[in-house]
Amino acid sequence: TIDMGEAIPADAQLYKIADSGTWSRIAAADIEGQTVTYTLSDDGELDQDQTPGRLRDPVALALPSSDGGEGPPVLPVPLPWWLLAVLSVLIGGAGYRRLHIA
């Protein structure tokens, strides 16, 4: 049982987050009030750490999209650090140039 500390929306669903980043719905999860209950056993299907005696279980609550679309939650795609650096230099250069033109 996981206590979320506040009321969970009625249409929320619990998802398992795999090491690959894929999400899969935990259909057997019982969401009621502010708690989520589901069964997790050592070295079982939901345990991502196959070391005996250790559990690793990354999960997340998610709400269906407001447009009523089907499918898994949308995840942002992280940009490589070098691309962020190039974009920062370009934006900074544009701002610098604008200051000197005005």
**Residue 76 counted as domain residue:** no
Give the tens place of pLDDT for each residue, 40-59: 888 888 878 888 888 888 88
Q: What is the pLDDT of residue 58?
A: 83
Q: Which pTM value belongs to this model?
A: 0.57
**Residue 19 counted as domain residue:** yes
Return the higher-pLDDT residue of 102 and 64.
Answer: 64
**Residue 88 counted as domain residue:** no
**Residue 49 counted as domain residue:** yes
For the chain, the domain total comes to: 1
**Residue 22 counted as domain residue:** yes
Whether 3 contacts 35, CB under 8 Å: yes
Distance (Å, rounded) from C-alpha 89 to C-alpha 60? 36
Residue 42: give the domain boundaries: 2-67
**Residue 94 counted as domain residue:** no
Task: Please name the residue ranges forming H helices in the chain.
Answer: 81-101
**Residue 96 counted as domain residue:** no
Distance (Å, rounded) from C-alpha 25 to C-alpha 100? 54
**Residue 48 counted as domain residue:** yes
- 12: Cβ–Cβ under 8 A, 6 or more apart, which residues? 31, 61, 62, 63
